[in-house]
Structure formats: C-alpha cells, structure tokens
Structure 1
Amino acid sequence: MFHTRSASTELIRHAGFSYFPLAFIARLPFAMMTVGVLTLVVAERGSVTLGGLNSAAAGLGTALVGPLLGAAADRLGQRRVLVPVGLVNATLLGVFPFVVAGATPALGLLALSVLIGASAPQIAPMSRTRLVAIIKRSIRRDQRERVLNSTMAYESAADEMVFIVGPFLVGLLATAIAPWVAIAGASALTFVFVTRFALHPTGRLHLGTPDAPRLQAPARELARFPLLTVIAGTLGIGFFFGATLTSLTGFLAADGDGDRAGLLYGVMGIGSAALALGTAAFPARFGLRARWLVFGSLMLAAAIAYASARSEPALIVALAVLGCGIGPTLVTQYSLAATLSPTGRSATTMTMLGSAVVVGQAVSSAVTGVVVDRLGADTALALPAVCAAFIVAAGLAHTAAAPRAADREPELVPA
C-alpha cells in the first residue's frame, strides 16, 4: 500500500498539481454539448423529436471526426490538434443559440450540430493518454499495473462525474436563467480551459519511452474483436445515458417540469462516482470480466425498476441505484481498453471509446425523443432497460472472445 501511494504521488508530481482539476473542468463542455443542444432546441422550437435529432447530429459529427482527431494526436502531438479544434468548437457553440432562436430551418440546425460534434475536443482520451505516458516514463515497472488501475479508476470516475455534472449544470442554468446560457457557458469553458489544457506541459508528452523507440501498430489492430466488444460496451453506456436523460425529460415535461431533468439526472452521480473510485480497492480475484457482468446486471435490474416507476420519488431511487452500476462498468471498460490498445495507438483507442459514449448518447436521445412524441413518456421509460441489456450482452461477447485477457489487470507494453 505504501509503495502504491508513493507511486501515485510520483504520478501527481510529474503531471503537476494543477493538472487534474484542469483536465476535469476542460472535459465539462464535451458532456454539456449534447444535453445543452437537446435542452435549447426543445425550449426554443418546442419539439423533443427535433431536439433529439440535433443531439444525434452532434453525435454523428463526433463519430465521423473524433477518432481521426485521436489518430492526428498520436501522429502530430496533442497541442497541434487541441488548440485549433478547441477554438473552432468554442466559436460554433457561441453562435448556436442565435441560430436556434432565429428562423434557420431544421436542416440548417442539424448541419450546425454536426459541426459542433465534429469539432468537440477529446479531452478525456487525451488525458488518459498523457497519464499513461507519465506512468511509462516515471513509475517503476513493478508498480505500473497498480498505478494504471488506480489512474483508470480516477479517470472513469471523472468521466462519470462530468457526464452527470454536465447535464446537471445544463438543467440548473436552464431553470435558473435560460436554456441558452448553458450553451454559452460551454463555449466559454472550451475557449478558456480546453486551450489551457492543450498548452499544459504534459501536452508535449508522447507514448514513447526513453529506452524504446516510438512504434505504432497497424491500424487494422484496432479492429480486433475483443477491443471491438469493449467499444460496443461503451457505446451501450452512451445509449443508456441518452435514453435515461431523454425519457426523464419527456416524463417531467408532461407536467411542465422538463427543465428539471438535469437536476434529477444528477442523482446518478452519487453512487456512480463513489463506486468508480472504489474499484481500485477491489480484490484481484474479482476480475475485470466479472466486474463488467456483475455491475452491468445491476444496471439492468435498476433500469427495470426505472421503467416501472410512475412517480418522481420512485424515479430518484431507481436513478440512485443505476449510478452504482454505471461507474464500475465504465471503469472496467476503460481498463480493458488500456490492456488491449495496440502499440502506439493509445490516443486513438481512448478517443474511440470516448466517441462511442457521445455517439451512443446522441443516437439514443434521438430515438427516445421520437418514442416520447409518438408513444408517450411512459413507454420511453423502458428504453434504458434495453440499453442495459445491450451492455450486458457486450460483456458476455467479450468474455467469450477473450476470457483470460478480460480477467487480467491492465498491463503496460512499450509504445
């Protein structure tokens, strides 16, 4: 324990004490993007379907360009990618409220949403890549696995908190001031904190080590089935986020309280963040494969309870239990990705996972919005259970494809 704590302190020292709060704040706009677009369009245009479609369009942009940004960062370095991309994204977010409030047709809104998603800075995967590089350079070999596991737990907890805090901020700002303020705030955060993150000294790091050349595996290695099942699992997490938030919005909107959805959605963050951080203390015999299946099943059980809830207190209880399943599941998926990432493709791999979450959230928001408008909010409440079943199925597929690899703690291989 002492050595692990000492190694973790060494990681913090090399990253810098300001790094972790900076990386946390810099990833907030990414989480606010799809929810902010959904909330603003619904408020201004009065259509949950159109709001969901715009969220899906932003996700489409991320799906098309996000992994390419990761590949560019692997090749050119993060600074050269993040600075221009962040400035473009901040500008597009800044003009979006004016476009929505104007007479722009729906097709124009969708096009702008695609551009917003395409230019979204991939802070979370870039942060993981930087920390892996520091671990490889600075942590003793016999301590690397434990430090990596703890780091992935923290990063996943940070992601989880961001995907809860982001919608919470959107709901708070939309309720207290106006829906457009959330998008304007995301623009300001991107301009200031994404740029600062890009220029942080850790942005100069790459995955090479002092005693090993910087090699890069062929791109086809990214298509290995075990890794694809992990990406499918994170896509399922995104599906779950989108279905839960949009169905909750539709349920509350029926009583004129749609703006409060982000506040209730934040309930999931409590157990989620606590258990995500707690995964670092799980015993080694509780392997990664078992964690995925156990906590994915917990999500499924809680989602079934959510589907049958017809009152706000019942929804809150179901959301709280759901959070206890989401955090550990997401940590497990990122730990597996760290294990399976091809040599020299870390940023690309992590970006693929991050993009999968956003894409899943956006597509699911669109589908759920259509269900809310056509079949009613009560029917839409069943969709998170379908998404949770998808996550469990992806875990079973991964177990069948790579049972021994799934149970190993993450290992670091030379990049």
Structure 2
Amino acid sequence: MASTQTLVARARTDETLIDHTGWIYWPIAFIARLPFAMMTVGVLMLVVAATGSVGLGGLTSAAVGIGVVIAGPLIGALVDRHGQRRVLVPVGLANGLLLAVFPLIVLSDVPEGVLLAAALAIGLTAPQASAMSRSRLLTIITARLSLERQAQTTTRIMAYESAADETAFVIGPFLVGILAALIAPWAPIAIAAVLSFGFVTAFALHPTARVVVVGEDAAAQPAPMRAVFSAKVLVLVAATFAVGMFFGSTLTSLTAFAQARGDEAQAGLLYGLMGIGSAVLALGVVLLPARFALSRRWIVFSLVVTIAAIGYSTADSFASIIVWLLLMGLGVGPTLVTLFSLAGARAPLGRAATTMTLLGSALTLAQALSSAFTGWLAEAVSLHAAMIVPAIAGVLVLALGVVNAVAERRRA
C-alpha cells in the first residue's frame, strides 16, 4: 500500500500540463488533425470537379464518413487496450497510402462502385488525432497533475481541443480551396496524404503516448463497454451527430451555391469564414463563469446556431452568406466545446478514448451523410431546399440540449 501511495505522489505533482507534454507536442498534435479535416471536403470537391456531380461528390464523401463510424469506436477500443502508439502508427501509414492513390482512382474514370470503395477505405483508416489527443491529455491530467489542478485543467484543455478542432476545420477547407484553385483539384488530397504520413506518425510516436495512470487508478478495472452507451453519453453522441449534420449540409449547400454562380472552388474559402468566430469563441469559453453551467451553454450557443442557420437559408448573395456564416461560427464553436467537455466528465472509467472516438465518429458520419443528402437535394429538388438543412440540424442540437438539461435536473 505504501508503494502505491508513493507512485501516486510521484505522478501527481504541481507541475503544469505543458511540463509533461513539452511544447513540441502541441504543433504536432494540431497538424496531425489536418488530414482528417481535409479528407471529407477534399473528396467532395475532387469528385465534383472530376465528374460535375454534386450528388456523387456528396455520396463519395458519405462513404468516407461511413468508414469512420465503422472503424472509429473499434480504433478507440483498441487504443484503450493496447495504447495509442501500437494502433496509430499502422493506421496513419495506411491512411496516407490510401489518400495518395485516391486522386489516381478518381481521375482514371473508374466505375462509381470502385470510387465509393476507395472512399470507404479512407474512412476506415482515419486516425482521428483529435479524439486521441483529448484522450491522451485526459490521461496525463489524471496521472500527473495534483487533484486540485485537475478540474480546471480539464476544462481548459477541452476548450483548447475544441478550438483546435474548429481551427483545423477552418484551415482544412481553406487549404482545400486554395490548393484546388492554385494547383489542381487533386492537390488537397495529395497534401493530406503527406501530412498523414508525417505528422500522424510523429503524433503516434511522441513520448506522451506512453503515459499511463499508475497506482490505485491503474488497478481499477475499466468500465464495461456497455457503460459507454449510457443515456447521458448517447445524448452527447446524438448532439455531436447533429453538429456534424450542420457542418456537412452547410459545406455542401455552400458548394452548390458557389457552383450555381460558376466557381465551386470558392466554397472552401467561404466555409472557412465560419470558423473564424468559431475558433475564437471556442477559446473564449474558458473565460465564462462556472455558474454558467455546461447544460445552459449548450442551449444558448445552439440557439445562436439555429437563428443564424435560418438566416443562411434565406441568403441570395455572397455578401449575406458571409454575414450568416460568421454568425453561425459564433455559436458552433462553443457548442462543440460544451459537448466534448461533458464527454470528458461523463466518460466511463478507462473508456476515454472509446468515448471520444464515438463522438468524433458521429461528427464525421453525420457530416458525410448530410453532404450526400444535401447534394441530392440541391440536384433533385432545389438549391433553396439544400440550404434549409443546416437550420434543421441547428434545431436538433437545440432540442437535444433541452433534453439534456431536463435529464440533468431529474438526476440532481
């Protein structure tokens, strides 16, 4: 018992989180997110540019998302059991290889089935560095920081991670738009392949991947897998799915809007505008008072998303589109921070990676499925019908926020 207490005392010091990660971890972990942030948008725009079909582009993007949701929870469970290094190295290398050959497949005029299979394989090997980073940092906080530092540090890290995700979602589509416009539509996917080979591997091999909980915390058995699928976690998964639906439908309807005006490459640039306020507000969440509870933040910021998305559905010019995109960003960033902060608090013992990848998979799957559906709406029904879908997604996030608040009150 004395030796266990000594291990815990050594692990939980008054040093800061950066003392345990080192400064180099943060740029590596950030850049490792970019292939994941670029692949859905890059696949969509490459297929649209090569085939001229927004519907097929959305369907191919949906195949990426389906692959992510199939493999994401499995990758998370493997990481919880075997550690990040053993899982992420082969996954990252496989993903880089598949991204590298995808432009060749698209430009070879292959049957649609081959195209969809290749996109599915990209999703199956998506490394989800953001979920892995959240899980890794939560482990370091638990294993290395003093008890009085853990709660505040966890809140700050969830805010940072969500802001980093938002920034990646800004930079990813922005890079896709810039590279497609300046070089060729295949360039964004090629660059994503290079980043996956280099930075996902560097992220997997970073020393922080070896940190484990010691002492009494390590002795505790992980919660059973069914604990991850409790109502209080599933409501977060559902809300994250709705946020992904918002992202996918916004991007695809924006692509259709830009295509109708003769320049679909502008879609990535315009989509990036939404993330400017989103990333800033996501970082600013740490300044909100503790009495502004997470359940209330969810409702307030999702209401901002909903109102802005309704305005977006009525836009008829690039100027009005820009205004509503900026306003939507002010709501969606803090909403994501809230959802992942709640996920960090509600993750069952020993299932942090599984919980985070489940949310990340839901986000990506919804983004891809809504891209396919919105692309079909734009082609088969009307552009206006496609631009209504983000508002529907905003209403879903808001409704689930109300459900969560009611459930929390009942549990209390």
The residue that corresponds to 2:214 in the other structure is 209
* SS state at 1:190 partner: helix
1:17-73 CA distance string (max 9 Å, x none): 100111000010001011100000000011101000000001000011111000000
Is 1:64 the counterpart of 2:74? The answer is no
* SS state at 1:402 partner: helix
1:98-137 equivalent positions in 2, closer than 5 A: 98-137=104-143
Distance 1:254 1:153 in 2: 37
Change in 2 beyond 3 A, CA 1:101/1:338: same
1:159 to 144, 165, 182: 165
Distance 1:147 1:393 in 2: 30
* SS state at 1:321 partner: helix
2:256 to 246, 250, 256: 250
AA in 1 matched with 2:106 = V
Distance 2:85 2:304 in 1: 40
Q: Number of residue pairs matched?
A: 399
Distance 1:68 1:82 in 2: 12
The residue that corresponds to 1:276 in the other structure is 282
Q: Does structure 2 retain, via aligned residues, the 8 Å contact 1:58–1:113?
A: yes
Distance 1:60 1:364 in 2: 12
> Is 7-16 or 191-200 further displaced after alignment?
7-16
Q: Which runs of 5+ in 1 are unaligned?
A: 1-6, 407-415
1:122-154 CA distance string (max 9 Å, x none): 201110111111111222111211110000000
The residue that corresponds to 1:285 in the other structure is 291
AA in 2 matched with 1:25 = I
The residue that corresponds to 2:5 in the other structure is none
Change in 2 beyond 3 A, CA 1:9/1:301: farther
The residue that corresponds to 1:222 in the other structure is 228
TM-superposed CA distance for 1:253, in Å, is 0.1
> Is 155-164 or 211-220 further displaced after alignment?
211-220
AA in 1 matched with 2:175 = L
TM-superposed CA distance for 1:211, in Å, is 3.6
> Is 127-136 or 244-253 further displaced after alignment?
127-136
TM-superposed CA distance for 1:214, in Å, is 4.7
* SS state at 1:343 partner: coil
Distance 2:383 2:264 in 1: 12
TM-superposed CA distance for 1:334, in Å, is 0.4
Distance 1:405 1:203 in 2: 36
Change in 2 beyond 3 A, CA 1:127/1:214: farther
1:330-349 equivalent positions in 2, closer than 5 A: 330-349=336-355
1:43 to 26, 49, 57: 49
TM-superposed CA distance for 1:9, in Å, is 7.0
* Structure 1 vs Structure 2 CA RMSD: 1.3
TM-score by length of 2: 0.95
Q: Does structure 1 retain, via aligned residues, the 8 Å contact 2:170–2:276?
A: no
TM-superposed CA distance for 1:405, in Å, is 7.1
Distance 1:40 1:52 in 2: 11
The residue that corresponds to 1:376 in the other structure is 382
Q: Does structure 1 retain, via aligned residues, the 8 Å contact 2:14–2:146?
A: no
The residue that corresponds to 2:10 in the other structure is none
* SS state at 1:267 partner: helix
TM-score by length of 1: 0.94
AA in 2 matched with 1:284 = A
1:181-192 equivalent positions in 2, closer than 5 A: 181-192=187-198
* SS state at 2:186 partner: helix
* SS state at 1:215 partner: coil
Distance 2:310 2:224 in 1: 42
TM-superposed CA distance for 1:382, in Å, is 1.0
* SS state at 2:350 partner: coil
Is 1:395 the counterpart of 2:369? The answer is no
Distance 1:209 1:231 in 2: 30
Q: Does structure 1 retain, via aligned residues, the 8 Å contact 2:15–2:145?
A: no
1:386 to 392, 399, 403: 392
Distance 1:353 1:326 in 2: 15
* SS state at 1:381 partner: helix
Distance 2:225 2:262 in 1: 49
Q: Which runs of 5+ in 2 are unaligned?
A: 1-12
1:290-310 CA distance string (max 9 Å, x none): 000000000000001101110
